[in-house]
A and B are shown apart, each in its own frame.
Chain A
């Protein structure tokens, strides 16, 4: 029963609540604030641009490098691996671009329930990208590297003389094994980093969103 006593208490709580903010004075210099806000927006946009360039440039450098190797190296199997590597780098660029266009922008003016749904979808997309990293970010380049190294033959058989490439490429069996082991460890590490980001960063956020969704439904 909602009685008068409770109503009085409720009004008292509302008064306490409303009077609380009177203990602090908030003064805002709007002109300066607008300038600071614009600066912050510019800083964020610059950071995003730099991140985009960084993501794309790694793949762009890869494409150029394997273009050169495709042209220069005479070994047929290695040439096939170079072609596959170029295709994979193009795929990675497209994947990043697609992920950016699919990204749902955070809209804080949505209602609380819509906002939670929105954020969950956004985080689920990120989780999916990290969760499948093994299949599109680690295994394909490892296979390509494997074919590339396996296809390296004796340069003399092809009358190929490129002292720089010959020095860089692992032409002996021992060097091939060492390089492949190093690459396997590197891709295993890449996979672990992605899984860790999924478990440590993304999953807890999804869980807290789901908890809030449950709370609000109850």
Chain B
């Protein structure tokens, strides 16, 4: 049965999502608990899957019993296992969290839970897919659920959701165009098969064009600067209840899809028309890390600031995975997992601020009368993790990216990581000065947040520190994924 774990991980949220309208036709209040039960089961399966992969090695799953390259293959390697576990944990936390901050109409709405579960199943599909076309299908499943979830807030969110839809569809089309190029030249869509056939013809214009289209499409999905236009407004106006899931997973999983394609199709040190591909990607990461950090610094809206912070981290991760050495690669992927938790924590705080204080901008924070120890504590821990101080996971991720950059003697990349760290510090100083602006008077009681919110905040805080403490062992198995680098 253990060899069926990948498909089970996909089927649990998928079947629950599509059966939701029938299961809850009589009792609408069952939607939330049902979604949470499915998600908890998925977390358990995710842990079992991770243990299986670590002890028995990667699982190659052939759907329908048809072996690749003829059939559709899923690959369950250490990277996929750890990403799926991350996604399912963040989804479960988001569901618990949304019980606190969701508006009552959203909380009782069946499509809302269906969309969250479909989004999660799509993310699982992208992570497991070992086939270019499957990645496209699941990218669309994720994207369509995400558009609807962003628009669920109504009002101006609909405009931003529509813009997200236009840009996201453009990204999907570009990706599909790239896949068509590669298929026309090689006649296969399976990544392992492509990796065998591509090196001989990598200099052909069709292959180079195809790879560029694929990268452009995925950069829109992962919001790589300058193709990030849809993200800040969409995340700033989406319902607070789902932004931790969207911000924590959607862009990261698109990046994972790119990492898979990059490492199965592009050999390190390869040049197309005298342009070293990996160095080019790394420079794009440098630009994204610096510009994203600078844009975050000048924001006045809390959620937009966090969104730009996430955009700059996508750049950091791209630097790490494009350095061409195992240290940087594992560092980048480790930072990616951390970033998923950091973004979830940031948007949980931002959503709670709107819910409890109606505070959206930095100036609103100044008038905050009663601070909550849970929110303050989590903010401080996430600030430490984002800036990258030990013992949080953020430190070990950035440290290894810098080490990898020095090893590859790419000093610009090392500088960019350090500079973006300073920018992160700068915008967190801005948030914290506003946060602690009002002196706490002796007679003011601290705000008591609900128990489920404090559970979520506590969990992400512990996760950020635990990732730092366990960084050594996590690195080891991420290195297995990047062993071919």
Are A and B associated in one complex? no
Interface positions of B (Cβ within 8 A of A) = none
